[in-house]
Chains A and B, each alone.
Chain A
Amino acid sequence: MKNQLKSSGWMGHNGALLIMVLPGVIWLIMFRFIPLAGSLIAFQDYQILRGFWESPWVGLKHFRYLFQYPDFYKIFRNTLVLGVYTLVFTFPLPILIALMMNEFRNKQYKGFIQTAIYIPYFFSWVIIAGFAEELLGLNGMINRMVKATGNDPVIFLQYSQYFRTIVTSATIYRESGWSAIIFIAAMSSIDPALYESAKIDGANRWKQIWHITLPCIMETVIIMLMLKLGQFMTQGFDRIYVFLKPMTLEVGDIFDTFVFRVGITQGQHSLTTAIGLFQSVVGLILVVLSNKLSKKLTGEGVVW
């Protein structure tokens, strides 16, 4: 009797759970796995009017073309260089901000700093680009300074030599404060007794930062670094696209923007899908590697 009740409960239990999970599974199939299967058009000469079933299969044609295609190396290089810029210049600042905030006890001051530095994260890249246009435009603040030093004003956003600096600076502006939160949280869980005993030993603030705070957050730092490494192939479409101009394509065109321009606007579906697949596979390898590395260094993986 008891057993019977239990087993019917089990059935009902799993039946309800199955019903709950079903919409999500259907969603995954529709918006993730069908597009993934649709990536097979990379091996076709896909024509929109003939559709997937009628378009001719061409094997590795697009991949072979890709690796001989100078633009491919250009966007590969641009993605890598922008990735390195972003990693090197935007990663350390949030840690520094958190370390500095940790030295203040005044709630009001901390509250003001936090309010101010988190807010840019909530502005879209369209807005951030608007800020940049105003600041760097012909009549903007920066050019006023340039003119004050007796030089001719420059439309910075139209020159490729400034592109990477502008995008990196804008990323620092938008994301440094927000990225600091995770390190601030990591610091809040440090045992205050550590600082007390350091003080008794006569360690000054600098030594406390160097020998207590920094080692205590090192694990978080490594995990965040690995997370960023794993995302190396996806530099963020919006972030680049809003700054991109015909004059800066040479250095600013990355995988995401190239696929959008050539795939959607020019209709070269198969070629850009091949590029997308390449990007996804490299991205997958990077995530797996960074996860492994993170597990080795901290005992904890980034994703699983």
Chain B
Amino acid sequence: MKHIKSPFSDRVLVGIFFVFLTTFALICLFPIFNMLAISFSEGFHANKGDVVLLPKGFNTESWEKILSSDRLWKGLRNTIVVTIGGTFLSLLFSAVFAYPLSKSSFPFARIIMFLVVFCFIFRYPIIPYFIAVKDYGLMNSLWSLIITHLIVEMNVIIMRTFFRQIPDEMEEAAAMEGAGQFTILFRIYLPLSKAALASLGLFYAVNYWNLYMHPMLFIRKADLQPLQIIIRNMLSSAENEGGGSAMVATLTSPSTLQAATIIFATIPIIIAYPFIQKYFAKGAMLGSVKG
């Protein structure tokens, strides 16, 4: 059999695609590596703007300054607490809520499902929401970040759809053995939904990690601010400090400090990234599943 060579036009097309995709991928990575280089550069060079991908005047001064900042570590701690605790509680809460809604034999399933979809498409105005959460006494507590996200309507809808695909016979067989509903959920449904739970957990976790508006609304105590708020404040204060000393040859500068701060905040994501990557495709697909 003779191998048919692909026509010239095909190779040109694929060549263009290759250039385009590779360029876009490099653009996506560029800011991360560039920031890394700036964070290890001398302030003087960073200010002149001549650091590109490779550090100039290599030193670790900016990192030492950043890592000795108590605020940053506290912020990281708060964010980790909220992300881990929140993701676990949200998954538990949403699963227990979605399970009865997946049972067509449950008489209230339809009406409650309607309410969930209604909440999904009719957005509550933020001001009365703020007043309500404040009235519940959740201000200045990390709980204000977790409790308000125990349910994300979209995720409940996805989870219910997933539970519905599990054949009823599984449940009936277990019920014959005398298993209660909680046992059926935790022993049969949840183990069968591991992939979906992992993807939803990923969505919840990313959401918790990146929370920004909620802490601005509910957390006023400096000690309880999560990482995103701390970073935001450090970025703008570095900017303001910068003006006067911009041209003095110091090891650090607003740019190098900002860069180190940003890299600090991205490191946990980059560490977790390879582990969560395999759930992406699944997760994005779930996002398109409707009730």
Which residues of A are interface residues toward B (Cβ below 8 A)?
A: 9, 12-14, 16-18, 20-21, 23-25, 27-28, 30-32, 34-39, 41-42, 48, 52, 97, 100-101, 103-104, 112-120, 122-127, 129-131, 133-135, 137, 139-141, 143-144, 173, 176-178, 181-182, 184-185, 204-206, 220, 223, 230, 234, 237-238, 241-242, 256, 259-260, 263-264, 269, 272-273, 276-277, 279-280, 283-284, 287-288, 300-304
Contacting residues, chain A, for B122 (C-beta < 8 A): 36, 280, 283-284
B221 at the interface (CB under 8 A from A): no
Take A97-B21, A178-B284, A185-B281 as given contacts and tell me if A20 and B96 are in contact as well, using a CB distance cutoff of 8 Å: yes
Is B7 touching A119 in the complex (CB atoms < 8 A)? no
Beyond A27-B151, A139-B46, A144-B50, whether A124 also contacts B9 by CB under 8 A is: no
Distance of A259 from chain B, by nearest CB (Å) = 6
B150 located at the interface, meaning its Cβ lies under 8 Å from any Cβ of chain A in the complex: yes
Tell me if B140 is interfacial: C-beta within 8 Å of chain A: no
**Within the assembled complex, what's the spacing in Å between the Cα atoms of A211 and B261?**
49
- Nearest-Cβ distance from residue B212 to partner chain A, whole angstroms: 5
* Chain A residues in 8 Å Cβ range of B150: 27
In angstroms, Cα B230 to Cα A258, docked, is: 23
CB-defined A-B contacts under 8 Å, sample of 26? A13-B105, A16-B180, A20-B96, A23-B93, A23-B96, A24-B96, A31-B133, A37-B128, A39-B125, A103-B14, A104-B18, A122-B206, A122-B273, A126-B210, A127-B262, A134-B255, A134-B258, A139-B49, A182-B284, A185-B285, A205-B10, A205-B13, A263-B127, A264-B217, A276-B128, A303-B120
Query: Mostly helix, strand, loop or mixed at chain B's interface?
Result: helix
Contact B119 A141, beta carbon cutoff 8 Å: no
Q: Chain B, 169-188, contact with A by CB distance < 8 Å: what is the 0/1 string? A: 00000010000111001000
- A212–B64 Cα distance when bound, in Å, is 56
Cα separation A25 to B108 with both chains bound (whole Å): 11
Distance of B9 from chain A, by nearest CB (Å): 6
**A21, B132: Cβ atoms closer than 8 Å:** no
Answer whether A116 and B123 are a contact pair too, CB < 8 Å, given A100-B17, A185-B284, A303-B290. no
- Beta-carbon contact of B130 and A140 below 8 Å: no
Nearest-Cβ distance from residue A268 to partner chain B, whole angstroms: 9
Known contacts A18-B108, A27-B151, A30-B132; A181/B119 CB under 8 A:
no
Name B's A-contacting residues (CB within 8 A).
Answer: 6-7, 9-10, 13-14, 17-18, 20-22, 24-29, 31-32, 34-35, 38, 46-50, 52, 93-94, 96-97, 99-101, 103, 105-108, 112, 115-117, 119-133, 136, 147-148, 150-151, 156, 175, 180-182, 185, 206, 209-210, 212-213, 216-217, 228, 231-232, 235, 239, 255, 258-259, 261-262, 265-266, 269-270, 273, 277, 280-281, 284-285, 287-288, 290-291
* Interchain CA distance A177-B29 in the complex, whole Å: 12
CA of A38 to CA of B62, assembled, Å = 48
Please state if A28 and B115 are interface contacts (CB–CB under 8 Å).
Answer: yes
Partner of B148 from A31, A97, A129, A176 at Cβ < 8 Å = A31
Provide the residues of chain A in CB contact with B212, threshold 8 Å.
Answer: 124-126, 237-238, 241-242
Taking the closest CB of chain A, its distance from the CB of B128, in whole angstroms, is 3
Q: Which residues of A contact B107 (CB under 8 A)?
A: 14
On chain B, the residues within 8 Å of A184 by CB distance are 281
Distance to closest chain A CB from B91 (angstroms): 13
User: Contact: B210 with A124, CB < 8 Å?
Assistant: yes
Least Cβ distance of A65 to chain B in Å?
16
